[in-house]
Amino acid sequence: MEFVHKSVLLTETVDSLNVQSGGIYVDGTLGGGGHAYEVCKRLGGQGRFIGIDQDEEAIKAASKRLAEFGDMVTIVRSNYAAIEEILNSLNITKVNGIMLDLGVSSHQLDTPERGFSYMADAPLDMRMDKRNDLTARDIVNNYDEMELFRIIRDYGEDKFAKNIAKHIVRERNIKPIETTGELTEVIKAAIPAKIRMNGGHPAKKTFQAIRIELNKELEVLNNSIDKMIDFLGDEGRLSIITFHSLEDRIVKVRFKNNENPCTCPSDFPVCVCGKKSKGRVITRKPIIPSDMELTDNSRSKSSKLRVFEKIEK
């Protein structure tokens, strides 16, 4: 299946990076290369572009799409958590911009056998990197009831988390839950019919929670933002698109802490903690999709873009 992914907030994200011809830019979630292509175009045949993705199919698709830019582009199959090691191995100490487009890609959702979607019956997989041994099936069948409750409550923000976890455990005690279709039926049985009629798809939040847990998405994001800001040169930008309130909260808090890291009590006349600001938050409010984009691409609905600018003093 061809790798198709509509880039969300495309112009807004690329504009936010203030692309300088001859600069060095990194995309930590390369996907099909949509954002990357626009950045490379603006580099005007100079500079350098590094694309990182853990999904083998994304790497193939982006390599094809960015081929016209030749040696300017370096593509690495890895998780953006390893950005420090990747840039060090390429002898890069500073970059002009970094972008992340978080969450699951359209291609991953639309390829049933990847097991990300509750809309088709397929093996429970959900790995963004197929080199990992652990799959969604392992979580569903091996996590204890309290662990399942915790991830569905925290990562899925589902008020029926306790009941869903109970139903999963009851079902797997009869026989293992092997497919997305089987898991969807178990979740449906755990949610009152009246709620199912009026809410969104009953399995959406649980699937999201399992995917986030399996791919350690929030952990990776929380541990990477400070490192990325440290790699930016003066006036370099870090632009991050989130699709989930928990991701957005992490980005917001980490950006704020990098802008104002001072831990002194508010009644101190001067700062004595010695923690210096690394720059400023460009987006006081996140940038969201236009009405036109929402009409054109319904998957952009919950997306938010936040931007941080490094200021070296």
Span 49-73, pLDDT tens digits: 999 999 999 999 999 999 999 999 9
Q: Do residues 96 and 25 touch, judged by C-beta distance below 8 A?
A: yes
Residue 70 carries which DSSP code? G
CATH for 10-107+217-310? 3.40.50.150
Q: For the residues 71-92, what does the mean pLDDT come to?
A: 97
pLDDT at 281 over 90: yes
pTM of the model: 0.93
Domain ranges across the chain: 10-107+217-310, 130-214
CATH for 130-214? 1.10.150.170
Residue 285 class from Cβ within 10 Å (0-12 exposed, 13-18 middle, 19+ buried)?
A: exposed
Q: Do residues 196 and 160 touch, judged by C-beta distance below 8 A?
A: no
| Spatial CA neighbour of 158 closest among 214, 204, 126, 119 | 204
Pairing state of beta strands 304-310 and 95-101?
Answer: unpaired
Per-residue pLDDT band at 116 (split at 50, 70, 90) = very high
**pLDDT at position 5:** 55
Q: How far, in whole angstroms, is CA 190 from its chain's centroid?
A: 29
Question: At a CB cut-off of 8 Å and minimum separation 6, what does 289 contact?
Answer: 8, 9, 297, 300, 301, 303
